[in-house]
Amino acid sequence: MNGEKIIDVRGMTKRFGNRTVVDNVGLTVRKGEIFGFLGPNGSGKTTFLRMLCGLLRADAGSGSCLGHDVIADSETIKREVGYMTQRFSFWEDLSIEENLDFAARMYDVKHRRQTVRDSLDQLGLTTRKNQLAGQLSGGWKQRLALAACLIHKPKLLLLDEPTAGVDPKARRDFWDEIHRLAGEGLTVLITTHYMDEAERCHRLAYIAYGKLLTHGTVDEVIGHEHLTTWSVTGQDLARLSEQLRGRAGIEQTVAFGNMLHVSGGDAGALEKGIEPFRTDQYEWHQLDSGLEDVFIHLMDKSKDNASP
Cα-Cα-Cα-Cα dihedral sign, residues 116, 158, 65, 42:
positive
User: What pLDDT score was predicted for residue 257?
Assistant: 87
* Confidence band for 139, pLDDT divided at 50, 70 and 90: confident
* Confidence band for 88, pLDDT divided at 50, 70 and 90: confident
User: What pLDDT score was predicted for residue 3?
Assistant: 81
- Position 66 pLDDT exceeds 80: yes
Report the chain's mean pLDDT, rounded to a whole number: 91
Asked if 172 and 267 count as a contact pair (C-beta separation under 8 A), the reply is no
| pLDDT, tens digit (0-9, with 9 covering 90-100), for 15-50 | 999 999 999 999 999 999 999 999 888 889 999 999
Residues 175, 89 within the same domain: yes
The residue ranking higher by pLDDT, 308 or 186, is: 186
The Cα 230–Cα 219 span in angstroms is 18
- Position 2 pLDDT exceeds 80: no
* Confidence band for 170, pLDDT divided at 50, 70 and 90: confident
Partners of 160 in the beta sheet? 191
pTM for the structure as a whole: 0.89
CB-based contacts of 60, cutoff 8 Å, min separation 6: 11, 12, 13, 24
Q: Is residue 76 part of a domain?
A: yes
Of the listed ranges 24-33, 91-100, 216-225, 293-302, the least confidently predicted one is 293-302
Residues 81, 189 within the same domain: yes
Q: Is residue 192 part of a domain?
A: yes
* Confidence band for 308, pLDDT divided at 50, 70 and 90: very low
* Confidence band for 89, pLDDT divided at 50, 70 and 90: confident
Residue finishing a domain among 222, 254, 276: 222
The Cα 186–Cα 102 span in angstroms is 23
Which CATH number does the domain housing residue 131 bear? 3.40.50.300
Q: Is residue 293 part of a domain?
A: no
Residues 278, 201 within the same domain: no
Percent of the chain predicted with pLDDT > 70: 97
What domain range is 105 assigned to?
5-222
Contacts of the segment 47-50: beta carbons below 8 A, 24+ positions apart:
47/14, 47/21, 47/22, 48/12, 48/14, 48/22, 48/207, 49/83, 49/158, 49/160, 49/189, 49/191
State mean pLDDT over 78-93.
86
Geometric angle at alpha carbon 43, from 41 and 46, rounded to 5°: 85
Residues 145, 273 within the same domain: no
Residue finishing a domain among 181, 198, 222: 222
Q: Is residue 264 part of a domain?
A: yes
Partners of 9 in the beta sheet? 27, 63
Residues 10, 120 within the same domain: yes
Residue finishing a domain among 164, 189, 222: 222
Q: Is residue 200 part of a domain?
A: yes
- Position 301 pLDDT exceeds 80: no
State mean pLDDT over 253-272.
93
Residues 209, 67 within the same domain: yes
Which CATH number does the domain housing residue 279 bear? 3.30.70
User: What pLDDT score was predicted for residue 306?
Assistant: 55
CB-based contacts of 246, cutoff 8 Å, min separation 6: none
| pLDDT, tens digit (0-9, with 9 covering 90-100), for 195-244 | 889 999 999 999 998 999 999 999 999 999 999 999 999 999 999 999 99
The Cα 112–Cα 137 span in angstroms is 26
- Position 169 pLDDT exceeds 70: yes
User: What pLDDT score was predicted for residue 305?
Assistant: 54
* Confidence band for 303, pLDDT divided at 50, 70 and 90: low
